[in-house]
């Protein structure tokens, strides 16, 4: 028997699925979190959160108390839910090409457990055309599929879900309206598009951000070459000149989404997406730029290096595709003595931020967590700050 108030979320212990599940459970839906990550499921079951997400712990404890959330690694349990939301990853391979095979195989497996009365909502970023591919082998159940991509900023999902417009697309009006009605419970504005439009909106959004960050990073690299302060130049550029207000800060541009989706778009457009390739070249070059800066420091091999922040961005514990982690590996490969620290990502090798500053001769800012603003770094220490985060004298 299908529970019309029940939602199964596949990938429910991950960064996309978990906060989405909390949002629906907070609106009195019965939410079944399905995931292969047993460790994360156990953490959730105990009332704790598996990663940093603003506001998540309070909602989780309340929903567990009301028995609105269950956890499992058994895919067959989707049979009980009216709504099945898929939030599994869509990676790129070592050659930066979309790895779609595993995604399609999963949907063939899922087909065994779904029926005509269920709505399948795909939330993942996908290679354009994949939703149509899935529709082909779902045949009569094709109309039960809708594509509703997520566009939230990691660690702020619960804040943004209610504020951002939700894109909704599908094969038929009946199920589109069902999806609209469901998302209206947790979102504000709902926007209907074609499936291809929805696929591209998600990829365009991330590629747009990735390219814009690369502009700032390219300008930072130019300033570095001429021994100029990009932070100062950027401030003057934006002072009273509105047309430059969109110029972002420089800094590591990485994580599990921006590069991946830019490369998916590149592959879709038959490698003619020159801006995407150029952005990747610029953004991925920053760790090597720092290694080069280090090599110019006198007696640097005898100095201790402190890497402050390991996450791929500020205010998260996620190190997936982090350029700070890539830099850490490069430093170790070059036999530098390295200390590491992070405010959110836990690792047995981490030391306290203040101790790192005390022990290190050279300090590199890897992730600009807000708490670091309170740190005092002596002028006697060499500071490498590609973010322009710390005040300069």
The per-residue pLDDT for range 60-80, each reduced to its tens digit, is: 999 999 999 999 999 999 999
Split at pLDDT 50, 70, 90, the class of 225 is very high
DSSP structural state of residue 92: B
Residue 203 is assigned to a structural domain of this protein: no
Residues 221-249 as b/e (b if ≥16 CB within 10 A, e otherwise) read bebbeeeeebbeebeeeeeeeeeeeeeeb
* Of 162, 108, 160, the residue nearest 135 (C-alpha): 108
Answer whether 92's CB lies under 8 Å from 98's CB. yes
Decide: helix, strand or coil at residue 120: strand
Write down the pTM of the prediction: 0.95
At 188 the pLDDT is 87
Say whether both 339 and 261 belong to one domain: yes
Residue 262 is assigned to a structural domain of this protein: yes
Pairing of strands 362-365, 304-308: parallel
Residue 389 is assigned to a structural domain of this protein: no
At 177 the pLDDT is 98
Residue 29 is assigned to a structural domain of this protein: yes
Say whether both 45 and 162 belong to one domain: yes
Residue 202 is assigned to a structural domain of this protein: no
Share of the chain above pLDDT 70, in %: 99
Residue 58 is assigned to a structural domain of this protein: yes
At 239 the pLDDT is 98
Q: Is 151 exposed, middle or buried (CB count within 10 Å of its CB: 0-12, 13-18, 19+)?
A: middle
CA–CA separation, 6 and 167 (whole Å): 22
Provide the CATH number for the domain around residue 361: 3.40.50.720
Cα-flanking dihedrals φ and ψ of residue 59, to 5°? -65, -40
Residue 224 is assigned to a structural domain of this protein: yes
> Counting every residue, how long is the chain?
393
Structure tokens at 384: 């490498």
Say whether both 226 and 174 belong to one domain: no
Say whether both 122 and 239 belong to one domain: no
E strands present in 156-293? 166-170, 190-192
Say whether both 260 and 133 belong to one domain: no
Say whether both 184 and 222 belong to one domain: no
Q: What is the dihedral of CA 121, 126, 130, 134, to 10 degrees?
A: -30
The per-residue pLDDT for range 26-65, each reduced to its tens digit, is: 999 999 999 999 999 999 999 999 999 999 999 999 999 9
Domain count, the chain: 2
Say whether both 187 and 253 belong to one domain: no
Answer whether 317's CB lies under 8 Å from 52's CB. yes
Q: Which residue has the tokens 């960064």?
A: 15
What is the domain range of residue 270?
Answer: 216-384
Question: Measured between alpha carbons, how far is residue 319 from residues 137, 281, 314, 342 in Å?
Answer: 36, 20, 11, 10
Cα-flanking dihedrals φ and ψ of residue 304, to 5°? -95, 135
DSSP run (H or E) holding 290: helix 286-295
């Amino acid at each position: 028997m299908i529970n019309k108030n029940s939602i199964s979320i596949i990938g429910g212990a991950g960064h996309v699925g978990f906060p989405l599940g909390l949002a629906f459970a907070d609106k009195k839906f019965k939410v079944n979190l399905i995931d292969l990550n047993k460790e994360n499921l156990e953490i959730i079951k105990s009332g704790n959160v598996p990663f940093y997400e603003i506001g998540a712990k309070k909602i989780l404890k309340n929903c567990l108390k009301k028995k609105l959330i269950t956890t499992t690694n058994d895919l067959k349990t989707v049979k009980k839910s009216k709504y099945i939301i898929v939030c599994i990853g869509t990676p790129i391979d070592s050659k930066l090409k979309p790895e779609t095979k595993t995604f399609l195989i999963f949907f063939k497996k899922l087909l065994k457990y779904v029926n005509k009365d269920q709505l399948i909502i795909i939330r993942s970023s996908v290679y354009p055309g994949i939703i149509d591919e899935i529709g082909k082998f779902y045949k009569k159940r094709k109309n039960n599929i809708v594509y509703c991509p997520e566009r939230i900023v990691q660690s702020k999902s619960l804040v943004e879900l209610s504020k951002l417009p939700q894109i909704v697309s599908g094969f038929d009006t009946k199920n589109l309206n069902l999806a609209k009605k469901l998302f209206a419970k947790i979102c504000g504005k709902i926007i209907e598009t074609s499936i291809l439009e929805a696929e591209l909106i998600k990829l365009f959004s991330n590629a747009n951000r990735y390219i814009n960050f690369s502009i700032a990073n390219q300008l930072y690299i130019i300033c570095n070459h001429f021994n100029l302060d990009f932070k100062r130049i950027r401030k003057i550029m934006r002072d009273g000149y509105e047309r430059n207000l969109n110029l972002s800060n420089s800094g590591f541009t990485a994580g599990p989404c921006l590069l991946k989706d830019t490369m998916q778009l590149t592959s879709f457009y038959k490698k003619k997406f020159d801006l995407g390739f150029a952005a990747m070249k610029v953004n991925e070059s920053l760790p090597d730029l720092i290694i080069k800066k280090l090599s110019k420091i006198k007696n640097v091999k005898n100095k201790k290096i402190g890497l402050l922040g390991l996450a791929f961005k500020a205010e998260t514990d996620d190190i997936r595709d982090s350029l700070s982690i890539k830099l850490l590996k490069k430093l170790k490969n070059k036999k530098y003595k390295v200390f590491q620290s992070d405010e959110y990502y836990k690792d047995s090798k981490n030391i306290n931020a203040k101790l790192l500053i005390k022990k290190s001769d050279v300090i590199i800012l890897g992730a600009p967590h807000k708490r670091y603003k309170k740190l005092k770094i002596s002028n006697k220490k060499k500071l490498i700050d590609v973010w322009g985060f710390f005040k300069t004298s």
